[in-house]
């Protein structure tokens, strides 16, 4: 593979010379700046060999650099070995970010090529300004990977599903009225929507154009008098056509969007989300004289707050999902070693157990099934051939979830296999303490994730350790497993970690410890933000767990828990026992659950 990557980069450099350019930028993106992308758009992976879901590749005449974040450092080191691509560890001291590198290393007069559809408006503008300041140029009209990727996978255009009324929380008419009001409140008369999950939510549609993400490729133009939805024609059913007619939605061909865009005449300013809208769209609008208002999409904020109906369906989905995972954990603890399981076979077993749940549609991401040192890679994917045996002594980590009619799930548990050393138990126990501290938080309305992160991270920081990622992300409703605008992390990122939590939001709670070459530990529950009380000091919020899965007591030492933390663990296990006992299928399962959740 390393030689293949070297050959691809060599071909790319040859193409750069043909177009009188010196640099090529390949980000992890599709035209909608989706977090996860289908195989057709995995250009950065094709060029570098790095398979992580986040990263930016910069290729020059004699250098190739890849930026990614702490979730992928261990994985990137392995996958980039001998490829000639240099890993740039985002956030590490002394490592320049992409823009600093451009300003300090690109010679005046150089040209950087990028596909304007595959970088965000915000990113494209920042690159343009960086290069302009040093006398270099950004050109976005050419995709060079198209010319060297001879067996590029086809783009997808799968059937679009119209949700039945029993599965959505608001009618389209109510959503579009609220959206138009939000547009007007921002001083705009129209909006162009590029984010796929936002469009699916708005129209009460779902798709399957991106694996595990129930979205369809689309663009939407909303004005005060009309709604145009650009979708791939072969994805549209007769039922959807009737629905569009009933709701006064004009269906147009996805392929015509860029042809139509410069011809649209807006009677005022247009609202776009610069993080979701690609740079080519921005350039077309700017050149046509359209005045833009740039801010976070009101749709992202609206869909993050689940309706009472959605919350009821989510709770049911999480209970069924928790019961399936608990049965799987029982199998792993009792039989995984003697049945000679490896990581891959265990992932298949869990996936098949979930698939039997009523309302199951798909996984919500590739199941992470990792034993020993592999668990130190946060986004590890067990290979079908050569997967590690789950045997001997160590931690087994499983991070998994599914898409159901009624909810999107995400949960992580770490189990002891064999015997582990005392320091590993200390690390595990403090991770559990952090997870429970956040789960039991009470906080004033207006707090954002940055206010709360230390509750989960504090017990890990006390060990003078850190996990190189956020503590929590939002979760969609029958949508993407990662959802904005709120996040829980200590490090400032553009607005997200300071976005205030609201009742009805789902947040993950997943502290961890990751030691390269040894083990990884993560415990993750999904929490629902709820109102707690209101008094003279303000309105107080709290969290209600949706995840009800035992935590492996074999890895916990009581001496590393404060009395309050021990009570929180025992209280949680008592609720797990109460919630799951009706879902256990036989006496053997009930006995195991009672033991797994008994008091420490």
When pLDDT is cut at 50, 70 and 90, the band that residue 494 belongs to is low
Q: Say if residue 413 is in the same domain as residue 317.
A: yes
Say whether 544 sits in a helix, a strand or coil.
strand
Non-local (6+) Cβ contacts of 214 within 8 A are 161, 200, 206, 207, 208, 361, 362, 403, 478, 479
- 448 near 486, Cβ under 8 Å? yes
- Residue keyed to tokens 């898409």: 403
Residue 316 lies in a domain: yes
> What pLDDT score was predicted for residue 470?
93
Q: Say if residue 217 is in the same domain as residue 283.
A: yes
Q: Alpha helix locations (H) across 118-273?
A: 121-133, 145-148, 172-185, 196-203, 238-246, 257-260
Question: In sequence order, what are the beta bridge partners of 541?
Answer: 443, 531
Residue 154 lies in a domain: no
Q: Say if residue 380 is in the same domain as residue 263.
A: no
Q: How far is CA 344 from CA 367, 382, 387, 416, 533, in A?
A: 9, 5, 6, 18, 46
Residue 105 pLDDT more than 70?
Answer: yes
The rounded mean pLDDT for the chain is: 95
Pairing of strands 111-113, 23-27: parallel
Look at the chain and report how many structural domains it folds into: 3
- Please tell me the least confidently modeled range out of 64-78, 241-255, 361-375, 463-477: 64-78
Residue 52 lies in a domain: yes
Would you state the structure tokens that stand for residue 223, as one six-digit string? 């004005």
pLDDT tens for each residue of 174-218: 999 999 999 999 999 999 999 999 999 999 999 999 999 999 999
Q: Which of 303, 330, 356 is the last residue of a domain?
A: 303
Q: In the chain, pLDDT over 90 holds for what percent of residues?
A: 93
- Please tell me the least confidently modeled range out of 91-100, 451-460, 522-531: 91-100
CA–CA dist 182, 595 (Å, integer) = 52
Query: Side by side, which strands form the sheet with 442-444?
Result: 442-444, 538-545, 525-535, 506-509, 472-474, 483-488
Non-local (6+) Cβ contacts of 584 within 8 A are 323, 327, 590, 593
pLDDT tens for each residue of 80-89: 999 999 999 9
Q: What's the rounded mean pLDDT across residues 539-567?
A: 98
Pairing of strands 137-139, 111-113: parallel
Say whether 200 sits in a helix, a strand or coil.
helix
> What pLDDT score was predicted for residue 141?
81
Q: In the chain, pLDDT over 70 holds for what percent of residues?
A: 99
Name the nearest CA neighbour of 362 among 401, 398, 389. Answer: 401
> What CATH number has the domain bearing residue 207?
3.40.350.10
Residue 139 lies in a domain: yes
CA–CA dist 495, 545 (Å, integer) = 25
- Residue keyed to tokens 């938080």: 441
Q: Say if residue 140 is in the same domain as residue 188.
A: no
Name the nearest CA neighbour of 463 among 521, 412, 507. Answer: 521
Say whether 157 sits in a helix, a strand or coil.
coil
When pLDDT is cut at 50, 70 and 90, the band that residue 245 belongs to is very high
CA–CA dist 483, 477 (Å, integer) = 9
pLDDT tens for each residue of 428-443: 999 999 999 999 999 9
Q: Tell me the residue length of the chain.
A: 600
**Residue 311's domain spans which residues?**
305-596
Higher per-residue confidence, 493 vs 576: 576
When pLDDT is cut at 50, 70 and 90, the band that residue 505 belongs to is very high
Q: Say if residue 144 is in the same domain as residue 200.
A: no
Residue 155 lies in a domain: no
Residue 1 pLDDT more than 90?
Answer: no
Q: Say if residue 292 is in the same domain as residue 320.
A: no
Q: 526: burial class by Cβ within 10 Å (0-12, 13-18, 19+)? A: buried
Q: Say if residue 247 is in the same domain as residue 333.
A: no
Q: Say if residue 311 is in the same domain as residue 286.
A: no
Q: Say if residue 280 is in the same domain as residue 354.
A: no
Non-local (6+) Cβ contacts of 245 within 8 A are none
- 93 near 114, Cβ under 8 Å? no
Would you state the structure tokens that stand for residue 152, as one six-digit string? 């590029």
CA–CA dist 355, 17 (Å, integer) = 51
> What pLDDT score was predicted for residue 496?
53
Say whether 59 sits in a helix, a strand or coil.
strand
Residue 497 pLDDT more than 90?
Answer: no
Residue 13 lies in a domain: yes
Non-local (6+) Cβ contacts of 218 within 8 A are 196, 199, 200, 229, 230, 231, 254
Q: Which of 148, 176, 209 is the last residue of a domain?
A: 148
CA–CA dist 398, 401 (Å, integer) = 10
CA–CA dist 220, 183 (Å, integer) = 14
- 258 near 234, Cβ under 8 Å? no
Residue 451 lies in a domain: yes
Q: Which of 272, 303, 334 is the last residue of a domain?
A: 303
Residue 283 lies in a domain: yes
> What CATH number has the domain bearing residue 329?
3.90.230.10
Q: Say if residue 429 is in the same domain as residue 572.
A: yes
- Please tell me the least confidently modeled range out of 376-380, 517-521, 562-566: 376-380
Q: Say if residue 276 is in the same domain as residue 312.
A: no
Q: Say if residue 246 is in the same domain as residue 312.
A: no
CA angle (324 as vertex; 320, 326 as ends), nearest 5: 115
CA–CA dist 267, 290 (Å, integer) = 9
């Amino acid at each position: 593979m390393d030689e293949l990557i070297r050959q691809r980069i060599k071909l790319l450099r040859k193409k750069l010379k043909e177009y009188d350019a010196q640099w090529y930028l390949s980000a992890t993106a599709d035209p909608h700046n989706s977090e996860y992308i289908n195989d057709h758009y995995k250009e950065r992976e094709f060029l570098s060999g790095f398979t992580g879901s986040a990263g930016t590749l910069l290729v020059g005449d004699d250098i190739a650099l890849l930026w990614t974040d702490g979730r992928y450092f261990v994985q990137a080191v392995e996958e980039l070995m001998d490829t000639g691509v240099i890993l740039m560890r985002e956030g590490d001291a002394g490592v320049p970010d992409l823009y600093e590198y451009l300003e300090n290393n690109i010679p005046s007069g150089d040209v950087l090529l990028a596909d304007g559809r595959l970088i965000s408006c915000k990113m494209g503008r920042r690159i343009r300004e960086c290069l302009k300041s040093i006398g270099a140029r950004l050109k976005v009209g050419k995709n060079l990977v198209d010319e060297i990727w001879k067996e590029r996978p086809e783009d997808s255009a799968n059937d679009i599903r119209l949700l039945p009324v029993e599965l959505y929380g608001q009618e389209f008419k109510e959503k579009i009225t609220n959206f138009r009001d939000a547009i007007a409140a921002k001083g705009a008369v129209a909006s162009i929507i590029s984010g796929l999950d936002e469009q699916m939510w708005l129209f009460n549609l779902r798709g399957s154009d991106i694996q595990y993400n129930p979205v369809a490729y689309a663009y939407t133009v909303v004005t005060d008098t009309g709604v145009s939805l650009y979708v791939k024609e072969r994805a549209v059913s007769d039922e959807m056509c009737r629905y569009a007619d009933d709701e006064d939605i004009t269906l147009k061909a996805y392929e015509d969007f860029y042809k139509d865009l410069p011809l649209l005449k807006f009677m005022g300013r247009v609202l776009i989300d610069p993080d979701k809208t690609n740079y080519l769209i921005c350039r077309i609008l700017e050149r046509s004289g359209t005045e833009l208002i740039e801010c976070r999409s009101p749709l992202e904020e609206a869909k993050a707050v689940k309706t009472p109906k959605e919350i009821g369906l989510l709770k049911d989905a999480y209970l069924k999902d928790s019961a399936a995972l608990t049965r799987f954990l029982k199998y792993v603890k009792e039989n995984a070693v003697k049945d000679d399981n490896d990581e891959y076979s265990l992932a298949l077993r869990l996936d098949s157990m979930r698939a039997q749940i009523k309302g199951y549609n798909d996984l919500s991401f590739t199941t992470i099934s990792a034993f020993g040192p592999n668990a130190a890679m946060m986004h590890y994917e067990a290979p079908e051939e050569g997967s590690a045996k789950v045997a001997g002594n160590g931690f087994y980590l499983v991070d998994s979830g599914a898409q159901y009619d009624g909810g999107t799930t995400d949960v992580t548990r770490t189990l002891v296999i064999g015997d582990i050393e005392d320091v590993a138990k200390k690390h595990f126990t403090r991770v559990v303490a952090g997870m429970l501290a956040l789960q039991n938080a009470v906080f004033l309305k207006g707090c954002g994730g940055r206010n709360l992160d230390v509750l989960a991270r504090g017990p890990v920081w006390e060990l003078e350790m850190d996990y190189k990622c956020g503590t929590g992300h939002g979760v969609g409703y029958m949508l993407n497993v990662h959802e904005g605008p709120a996040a829980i992390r200590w490090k400032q990122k553009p607005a997200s970690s300071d976005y205030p939590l609201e009742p009805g939001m789902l947040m993950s709670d997943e502290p961890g410890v990751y030691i390269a070459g040894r083990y990884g530990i993560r415990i993750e529950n999904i929490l629902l933000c709820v109102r707690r009380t209101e008094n003279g000091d303000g309105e107080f919020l709290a969290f209600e767990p949706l995840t009800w899965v035992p935590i492996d007591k074999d890895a916990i030492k009581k001496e590393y828990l404060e009395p309050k933390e021990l009570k929180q663990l025992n209280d949680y296990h008592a609720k797990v026992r109460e919630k799951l006992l009706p879902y256990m299928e036989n006496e053997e399962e009930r006995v195991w659950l009672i033991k797994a959740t008994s008091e420490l």
